[in-house]
Structure 1
Amino acid sequence: MSAFFRTSRLVRPATLSARAHATQHIRRTLATAAEKPFFSDEPEGPTVSTAIPGPEGKKAIAQLDKVFDTRSLNLLARYPDSVGNYIRDPDGNTFLDVYAQIASIPVGYNNPALAEAARSPEMVTALINRPALGNFPSDDWASILETGILTVAPKGLNQVFTAMAGSDANETAYKAAFMWKRRQERGGPDVDFTNEETTSVMNNQSPGAPQLSILSFKKAFHGRLFGSLSTTRSKPIHKLDIPAFNWPQASFPALKYPLEEHAEENAKEEARCLEETERLIKEWPQPPAAVVVEPIQSEGGDNHASPAFFRGLRELTKKHNILFIVDEVQTGVGATGKFWAHEHWDLPSPPDMVTFSKKAQTAGYYYGNPELRPNKPYRQFNTWMGDPARAILFRAIIKEIERLDLVNHTAQVGDYLYAGLERLAGQYPDQIQNLRGKGQGTFIAFDSPQRDAFLKNAKSYGVNIGGSGETAVRLRPMLIFQQHHADILLDVVEKLIKS
């Protein structure tokens, strides 16, 4: 039956004759069979032969638990045996991975192009002579950046500060925002710090430690480090027992679905959130130096807003002379059918900073305004300031994305997958609720009334899938995810609904 749902757009299942159903099934099967796989050695599909974890997995987990906290473990993997879209465990179970770790594997397990980059003399040098980039960058560091990370810089942003992880990228972006704001208030880059500033800052007091803030949104996730955690609002468990800054949070639009049936209500909701955001910018006792926002709130439940909402945010930041930081740690590098998700918004001017990590396999933030460079050295600094080995890997990922046209491919496969889920949602409206992500590549989610059981049971059918928020099932397949993988996923979704 699920094969029909994926092929019929105009006729409901009950009206199809058995012959018509069989004909459409054959046509879809032939079309899928004609699709050339990106990985010729991929399994034909998932296989599960033991409980999960199985006996070998249990032994390995017990061994690991002696020296490492395993309570958040999702799946113990055997990476040498994993390939393409499929991840394998120590018991030989093979799963179609539509979670991609945590949206962080871009072009497949054991991708040959990445393996070739890993074996290069350039990579060996970067690995065994890891430079402290602020003090001792290699003489080819500019070339590595210019031939890799900067080739995909968002429009209008031509510089980069490299970092270690998404939280690190956001924290350094926040620091840049604070230094930029104080530079303005002080009167420019050549105005030196006062004695009062240099003295008070050593006591964590103003004016050296200014009373400024970063405005984020309810249900946002921007990381787990100390500063980024104050802008994370997705789950209490991330924040409990950690001192936090008194920084403002505005409401993020709570849209109703299907979007086309709630256009007026959703527009009012977005207008309300923009009004609240402006009020907080104007009235919060620690004035914001920047607004930070995810194009799609990922960890917080896969919450979307319209391009008009984000254009409204950009207008507010311009109006009030604060910075606009777009957190593309999870949405960036092609997953939404654009290389950067904010390309969907048609902004009148680019964001001031765009942070990235995950599928890039490295991290940092892009910027264009030279005033976002601190006026003195060592102000934006740490030992590593990123990792050339990971920058080289990102360059190989970019080349693979370009070679296979994976951004456009993801847009097309996302449309195919969304249409299949939309048909299943029509058949099982109580089980697939608030389907969202149309036109956003494979960045798709829906709410399930038994979400946790849905995710757990999916593994018994050979699919590794993730969740977000309280009830969302979030799809995060790799950029090499194809229609025949979507067919497998849709079959499993229907089986889970029926089970």
Structure 2
Amino acid sequence: MLRPIKHLRSIRAKRFLSTCESYFPDEPKAPILKTSTIPGPKSEQLNNELGEIFDNRATYFVSDYYNSKGNYISDADGNYLLDVYAQISSIALGYNNPELIKTAKSDEMTNALINRPALACFPSTDYATILNEGILSAAPKGMNKVWTALSGSDANETAYKAAFMYHHTKRRNGDFSAEELESVMNNELPGASDMVILSFDKGFHGRLFGSLSTTRSKAIHKLDIPAFNWPKAPFPSLKYPLNEFEAENRQEEDKCLQEFESIIKSYNGKVAAMIIEPVQSEGGDNHATPYFFQQLRKITQDNDVLMIVDEVQTGVGASGKLWAHEHFDLPSPPDMVTFSKKFQAAGFYFSNPELQPNQPYRQFNTWCGDPSKALIAKTIYQEVVKHDLVNKTASIGNYLFSNLKSLAEKYPILNLRGENFGTFIAWDCKDANERGKLLLSLRNKGINIGGCGDYSIRLRPPLVFEQKHADIFLSALEDALKEL
């Protein structure tokens, strides 16, 4: 009789385990610090060796991914830091997640890795199944097609290409002319396009040539690189707390909307698409209200401009919705939604079949994505659904925001933003110098965290970040703020 009772207790205990504990029963209970500063001596030595063959000047510390676990990243010196930066928002299920390890060791993965296909020419027998059970199962409302790509920048650039080809195909209404075919080989009109992609001030969309022309976050990203002469529109600069500045913020958003529409009209039908992040991440975690995004959608539809929503950093649950633009209740879906980071794969969603060019080899490269990455994305999505991680992230985000709001009453946490937006939370420091001190202090207390914009700090934890992790972070933050 004892054996069944013991077994029943075991089952009950498992039910009450957190998602994180079920994945990582031996995750550290708190940061483990073995060196007085981070980076430690071994990390510095390895980084110096790396610097002889690879540009290492942006290195925080050298990481030991073999020993990292769950929400904790390990460095070369054996320190374990609670990671609320998560590879710039790219780790969804924690380090060394056992379900991802299973996928990595599967026959499907072996096949995808050692026989990596040129997908447009030689797609694998199982690629449609992989997409349908993973990336397409996660598609935003109103979208049922996907083009897979190699990175977030590539996802955006292929979306731009789709937009240009879509508009010119509609205008051409027939085959290419001899003049088009000849002139394009000299990068000249009419074969080349004089249409543009409109982006927003402080937006970030990548570092390839087309995506870099739409990136507006930091000058250092763009210096010395030839650029397309494409327009930018202003993005609202909201005042916080939002409930105290509703009238001022509405006035600011209306002003930006008027200028956005004015820019579109000044280009006389040559704006092929606009691209926007639900939250301008790299540019400072800048938010706008649902009203702003709803009006943008109406303006783009009225002016035959495609709307591309860049969810490279905001997508896959971090905002408390699977896709952050779901917060905005748009009057109709965007035309394209790009993704990468937390999916460990990249591409863009769409539904209009005319966004797929009507000749082969136009939207094309050797790989056109990567089945191995699509397999990882499939597992990530299935685990997110299985453990209800989007709703759990929304809940823990509310807990974090509430406690940060209390800290802001005592310490210089300025313009706290991201309420009801999952763990996609940020705040401003007084200046860049104060931010640098705070980030360094937190690192030496065992918290890996990052900044954005000129003087902001952002949270980007995995989807398995729970209250116990939040409490550790909040305690360390308060200690660091006391020392400023």
Length-normalised TM-score, structure 2: 0.94
**Is the 1:213–1:286 Cα contact (8 Å) retained in structure 2?**
no
User: Is structure 2 residue 170 aligned with structure 1 residue 184?
Assistant: yes
Q: Deviations over 1:128-155 (max 9, x none)?
A: 0000001111111111111111000011
Q: Deviations over 1:67-117 (max 9, x none)?
A: 111001122100111000000011111100000011000000000000000
1:362 is matched with: 345
Identity %, equivalent residues: 58
Work out the number of aligned pairs and report it.
Answer: 464
Q: CA deviation at 1:446?
A: 0.3
User: Is structure 2 residue 68 aligned with structure 1 residue 66?
Assistant: no
Counterpart amino acid of residue 393 in structure 2: T
Q: How does 1:415-426 map to 2 (within 5 A)?
A: 415-426=398-409
User: Is structure 2 residue 63 aligned with structure 1 residue 77?
Assistant: yes
SS at match of 2:409: helix
2:260 is matched with: 277
User: Is structure 2 residue 419 aligned with structure 1 residue 438?
Assistant: yes
2:10 is matched with: none
2:479 is matched with: 495
Instruction: Choose from 293, 299, 316 the match for 1:316.
Output: 299
Provide closer, same or farther for how the CA distance between residues 33 and 392 of structure 1 changes in structure 2, counting only shifts above 3 A: closer
Please give the alpha-carbon distance, in whole angstroms, between the structure 2 residues aligned to 1:217 and 1:124.
Answer: 42
SS at match of 1:210: coil
Please give the alpha-carbon distance, in whole angstroms, between the structure 2 residues aligned to 1:243 and 1:480.
Answer: 41
Q: Deviations over 1:389-411 (max 9, x none)?
A: 00000101111111111000000
User: Is structure 2 residue 465 aligned with structure 1 residue 476?
Assistant: no
Q: Deviations over 1:262-298 (max 9, x none)?
A: 0000001000111000000010378210010000000
Q: CA deviation at 1:39?
A: 2.1
User: Is structure 2 residue 116 aligned with structure 1 residue 133?
Assistant: no
User: Is structure 2 residue 319 aligned with structure 1 residue 336?
Assistant: yes
Please give the alpha-carbon distance, in whole angstroms, between the structure 1 residues aligned to 2:18 and 2:62.
Answer: 31
2:79 is matched with: 93
Please give the alpha-carbon distance, in whole angstroms, between the structure 2 residues aligned to 1:442 and 1:333.
Answer: 12
Instruction: Choose from 234, 237, 242 the match for 2:220.
Output: 237
Please give the alpha-carbon distance, in whole angstroms, between the structure 1 residues aligned to 2:106 and 2:23.
Answer: 23
Q: How does 1:76-475 map to 2 (within 5 A)?
A: 76-187=62-173, 191-284=174-267, 287-428=270-411, 431-449=412-430, 450-475=434-459
Please give the alpha-carbon distance, in whole angstroms, between the structure 2 residues aligned to 1:142 and 1:33.
Answer: 34
Please give the alpha-carbon distance, in whole angstroms, between the structure 2 residues aligned to 1:171 and 1:85.
Answer: 32
CA RMSD of aligned residues (A): 1.5
Greater shift, 232-241 or 451-460, is seen at: 451-460
Please give the alpha-carbon distance, in whole angstroms, between the structure 2 residues aligned to 1:427 and 1:337.
Answer: 27
Gaps (5+ residues) in structure 2? 1-15
Greater shift, 408-417 or 444-453, is seen at: 444-453
Please give the alpha-carbon distance, in whole angstroms, between the structure 2 residues aligned to 1:271 and 1:83.
Answer: 46
Provide closer, same or farther for how the CA distance between residues 253 and 138 of structure 1 changes in structure 2, counting only shifts above 3 A: same
Counterpart amino acid of residue 274 in structure 1: L
Q: CA deviation at 1:452?
A: 1.4
Length-normalised TM-score, structure 1: 0.91
User: Is structure 2 residue 28 aligned with structure 1 residue 47?
Assistant: no
**Is the 1:32–1:483 Cα contact (8 Å) retained in structure 2?**
no
Please give the alpha-carbon distance, in whole angstroms, between the structure 1 residues aligned to 2:22 and 2:301.
Answer: 46
Q: CA deviation at 1:345?
A: 0.7
Q: CA deviation at 1:318?
A: 0.3
**Is the 1:360–1:397 Cα contact (8 Å) retained in structure 2?**
yes
Please give the alpha-carbon distance, in whole angstroms, between the structure 2 residues aligned to 1:38 and 1:315.
Answer: 44
Q: Deviations over 1:8-32 (max 9, x none)?
A: xxxxxxxxxxxxxxxxxxxxxxx99
Please give the alpha-carbon distance, in whole angstroms, between the structure 1 residues aligned to 2:344 and 2:228.
Answer: 29
Q: Deviations over 1:399-437 (max 9, x none)?
A: 111111100000000000000000000122xx1000000
**Is the 2:318–2:422 Cα contact (8 Å) retained in structure 1?**
yes
SS at match of 1:79: coil
